[in-house]
Amino acid sequence: MTEILNPQQALRYSRQLMLPALDFRGQEALLASKVLLVGMGGLGCAAAPYLVASGVGELTLVDDDNIDRSNLQRQILYREQDIGQPKVSIALQQLQQLNSDIKLTALAQRLDETALQQLIPGYSLVLDCTDNLSTRNAINAACVHAGVPLVSAAAIRFEGQLLSLRHQPGDPCYQCLSRFFGEQQLSCMEAGILSPVVGVLGVMQALAAVKILAAVGEPEYHQLKLFDALSGQWQQFQLTVDPDCPVCRRR
């Protein structure tokens, strides 16, 4: 279904409409898209404003956590007076002020495998902004099953990673990568995180999502990008299919 821009929207998104690679076609594709963003921590707080500002038509925010004082160092949608409030509720209020045209939904709950399997087929794309491996694998499995693209990121200390997955037959999935490492034993509370690092990775997630949804440029599917904030350098590796993957081999 195509969304036609009205005059007010044409003015709001005029700087994007000037881009020949995007133009009205790409902007209307963005307006017709539905994005599920799971995890409203540092990554989600950085990615969500750019998705909303860019003109993604519908955005659903998922997180069951409340705001803690320690979150304020890197979760930039929240303020001191918000401590103790549900993250998704405050994030929704902030994002509504940024773009009232966007349909925003907040789910203050932790989605299990069954809920993810039921929810994800209704979306154009999923952003994984969570902080634990079991949830990442569950999101990946649901996206593989539904054939929905996934943009995943993670950050800790001075490091981050970014990966976009297409989830079509023959494609690798996040499980093909996660088989190389176990559950991260250290959280940001235990290992630390430099505030702008989650900003860099979250904004890169938003950029990858916009490119996929608007069919702009070359989506960098299956390219694992590793960021080292201390050196300011990125490394890139091509993710290949695990022939024994218990998730994507069943597709």
Rounded to 10 degrees, the C-alpha dihedral 62/130/213/229 comes to 140
Distance between CA atoms of 193 and 201, rounded to whole angstroms? 12
Residue 223: partners with Cβ closer than 8 Å, 6 or more residues away? 163, 164, 236, 237, 238, 239
CA separation (Å) from 145 to 93, 119, 186? 32, 12, 30
| Domain 33-250 classification at class level | alpha beta
Quick one: which of 112, 118, 155 has its CA closest to 134? 112
- In three-state secondary structure terms, 161 is strand
Kindly list the domain boundaries of the chain, sorted by start residue.
33-250
What pLDDT tens digit does each residue of the chain (251 aa) get? 567 899 999 999 999 999 999 999 999 999 999 999 999 999 999 999 999 999 999 999 999 999 999 999 999 999 999 999 999 999 999 999 999 999 999 999 999 999 999 999 999 999 999 988 899 999 999 999 999 999 999 999 999 999 999 999 999 999 999 887 765 554 555 678 999 999 999 999 999 999 999 999 988 899 999 999 999 999 999 999 999 999 998 66
Contacts of 91 (CB under 8 A, 6+ apart): 40, 44, 45, 48, 61, 63, 77, 78, 106
